[in-house]
Amino acid sequence: MKILVADDDLVSRRLMERMLERSGYEVVTAANGREAAERLSEADCPRLALIDWMMPELDGPSVCRKVRSKHDSRYIYITLLTSKQSSEDVVVGLEAGADDYLIKPCNTEELKARLRTGVRILELEDKLVEAREEMRYKATHDSLTGLWNRGSIVSDFDRELARARREDGVVTLLICDLDHFKQVNDVYGHLAGDEVLQSVASRLVNSVRSYDMVGRYGGEEFLLVLAGCDANLAERRAEEIRSVVAGRAIETSSGLLSVTLSIGVLTSDLWGNELGASQLLKEADKALYCAKADGRNCARIALPSLRELLTEVGRSHG
């Protein structure tokens, strides 16, 4: 593990450096407090630090305060080294952000033991961060495909729509549904169905830009949010995505399977600011319904005129 040794006394710094290197640490040194603070603010900074209390430019407690003020995600375990022995000094050092405190001259074995304690604490912190990130991932991603889950992709669309309206921009929404997917599960089994979903998810992700968003909206439905994609481009992008999925059979444990997509397309610039995200999702879903009704394996655009037409059809059958 990398460790910083900050001491303005060259001899003390060199002795500490050699002892720590023999103990297996990768040592980085600083000759004053300002240099120590800079080293600890670097991207790949040491996770352990031995800081002398009395140094030019910044003293040890000031270095601690500077490091703690940055609120970096990776914790740095700091031990202050000093000849000060009063309880008041101990309190000052710990309240400044130090994790431990050793009186100089240090006993070598005690110093090594305290550093091992610091390493254990950092390893525990890393495990907690890893567990937190795993929980966050599971809460926001679909377990089968690795895509954003329904709640996350809908929230993404809501945010992108608000941003587009705020900045006089545009966002396009694609609702994609695998045609006759139930037959895949019924004929070839759910394992083959899962493999189809995973392959389609991968193709969708590879078909869009890195800042576009792809999520699993339902069982065999996917939602794509394309930022900055206006009405003139949306239909072409939908056709490209449809072709990517339909153009090559998918390898599964039951053999090669050909699948197609029906797509409902909605671009915000055609709808003004009247409808919210949930209402626009419903309009995109109506366009998907039209694509299904028109024979599947195609894309249809959600237009305000289409909304009015469907309303009239509903009234005539009411």
**Which of 117, 139, 161 finishes a domain?**
139
User: Of the given ranges (15-29, 61-75, 193-207), which has the lowest mean pLDDT?
Assistant: 61-75
Q: Using one digit for the tens of pLDDT, what is the confidence trace for 75-106?
A: 899 999 987 767 787 788 888 889 998 888 88
Shared-domain flag, residues 119 and 187: no
34 and 169 co-located in one domain: no
109 residue type, one letter:
E
The H or E element that residue 107 is part of is: none
Containing H/E element for 270? none
Q: What is the mean pLDDT of residues 2-13?
A: 90
**173: confidence class by pLDDT, cuts 50, 70, 90:** very high
CA-closest candidate to residue 49, choices 39, 58, 57 = 39
Q: Is residue 125 part of a domain?
A: yes
Is pLDDT above 70 for 316?
no
Is residue 220 part of the annotated active site? The answer reads: yes
- Mark whether 265 and 292 lie in a shared domain: yes
How confident is the model at residue 313, as a pLDDT? 45
**Choice among 35, 160, 220, 221 that is catalytic:** 220
Residue 144 lies in a domain: no
Strand pairing class (221-227; 48-52): unpaired
The pLDDT score that the predictor gives to residue 312 is 47
60 lies in the same domain as 193: no
Residue 86 lies in a domain: yes
What's the CATH number where 53 sits?
3.40.50.2300
Distance of alpha carbon 23 from alpha carbon 85, whole angstroms: 27
Count CB-CB contacts under 10 A for residue 228: 14
Cross-sheet strand order for the sheet of 100-103: 26-30, 2-6, 48-52, 77-82, 100-103
**CA 224, CA 195: separation in Å to the nearest integer?**
20
Query: For residue 311, is pLDDT > 90?
Result: no
Q: Tell me the per-residue pLDDT of 30-51, one tens digit each, with 9 for 90 and over.
A: 999 999 999 988 888 899 999 9
- Mean residue pLDDT of the chain comes to 90
The one-character DSSP state at 111 is H
Task: Report yes or no: 267 and 170 within 8 Å, Cβ to Cβ.
Answer: yes
Among the candidates 139, 169, 185, a domain finishes at 139
Nearest to 63 by CA among 73, 52, 72: 52
Q: What total number of domains does the chain contain? A: 2
Among 106, 139, 172, the domain-final residue is 139
Range of the domain at 224: 150-316
Residues 228, 172: Cα–Cα separation, whole Å:
7
Q: Are residues 102 and 165 in the same domain?
A: no
**Would you say residue 13 has pLDDT above 90?**
no
In the predicted structure, residue 318 carries a pLDDT above the cut 50: no
| DSSP H or E segment with residue 29 | strand 26-30
The pLDDT assigned to 253 comes to: 93
Residues 126-171 have pLDDT tens digits of: 999 899 999 999 999 999 999 999 999 999 999 999 999 999 999 9
201 and 109 in one domain?
no
pLDDT value at position 151?
Answer: 95
pLDDT of residue 310: 47
Pair 45, 131 in one domain? yes
Is residue 190 packed enough to be buried (19+ CB in 10 Å), middle (13-18) or exposed (0-12)?
exposed
pLDDT at position 60 over 80: yes
List, in order, residues 6 or more apart from 96 with CB less than 8 Å away. Answer: 60, 61, 62, 64, 65, 68
Question: What is residue 91's predicted lDDT score, i.e. its pLDDT?
Answer: 85
Same domain, 173 and 241: yes
Q: What are phi and psi of 250, to 5 degrees?
A: -100, 130
- Same-domain status, 168 and 298: yes
Statement to judge: residues 259 and 110 lie in one domain: no
pLDDT for 315 beyond 80: no
Dump pLDDT digits (tens) for 244-257: 999 999 999 999 99
* Same-domain status, 172 and 284: yes
- Say what the pLDDT of residue 286 is: 95
- CATH number of the domain residue 227 falls in: 3.30.70.270
221 lies in a domain? yes
Same domain, 130 and 213: no
Note the pTM of the prediction, 2 decimals: 0.70
Within a domain: 254: yes
The CA distances from residue 314 to 29, 108, 136, 227, 310, in Å, are: 76, 85, 43, 33, 6
DSSP codes joined into one string, 236-252: HHHHHHHHHHHSSPEEE
Q: Give the pLDDT score at 306.
A: 54
Q: Which pLDDT score, from 0 to 100, does residue 104 have?
A: 83
